[in-house]
Amino acid sequence: MNLTQDELWETIHTLGWNVRDDNIVIEIGGTQVSGIEQPEGYNKKWSSQKGDRKYNKDAFIVLKNLSRNDDTKSQPMDREHKPHHGTDTTENRGYSRTEGADAKDSNQTTT
């Protein structure tokens, strides 16, 4: 596939990004950075110095629009919210998993 510059601009336009006002950055994914401090006289063929970056054969390019990145933190649920997954705040408090057909085989009691 031969990506042209026109196709890139068309894709940015399709996403609704504004090239003049949005903070768009290009990053490379699929890389690795050495985090091991090598001693003096190390074998450069088999190991790399700390901080060296290698690009994997399947590395890829990422376009990010930092202007539209949602950095808001998650908010607590309101008091009226009632989850339906069996927590202590729902109606089925106190029931065990052994109710029903499995209750006969269990020595546990249910409330």
The DSSP string of the chain is: ----HHHHHHHHHHTT--TTTS-EEEEEEEEEE---PPPTT--TTT---TT-EEEEEEEEEEEEEGGG---PPP-PPPTT---SSS-TTSTTTT--TT-GGGGGG------
Q: Is residue 107 part of a domain?
A: no
User: Distance from CA of residue 52 to its chain's centroid?
Assistant: 25
Q: Is residue 29 part of a domain?
A: yes
* Domain limits for position 15: 5-68
Q: Is residue 108 part of a domain?
A: no
pLDDT tens-place values along the chain, 111 residues long: 688 999 989 999 999 999 899 999 999 999 988 878 888 888 877 778 788 889 999 999 999 999 988 888 888 877 777 777 765 554 555 555 555 555 555 555 555
Sign of CA dihedral 84, 86, 90, 96: positive
Tokens of 50: 């700390």
Q: Is residue 90 part of a domain?
A: no
Overall domain count for the chain: 1
Predicted pLDDT at 62: 92
Quote the Cα angle for 76-82-85, to 5°.
100
Predicted pLDDT at 47: 78
Predicted pLDDT at 22: 94
Q: Is residue 83 part of a domain?
A: no
Predicted pLDDT at 90: 47
Q: Is residue 103 part of a domain?
A: no
Q: Is residue 18 part of a domain?
A: yes
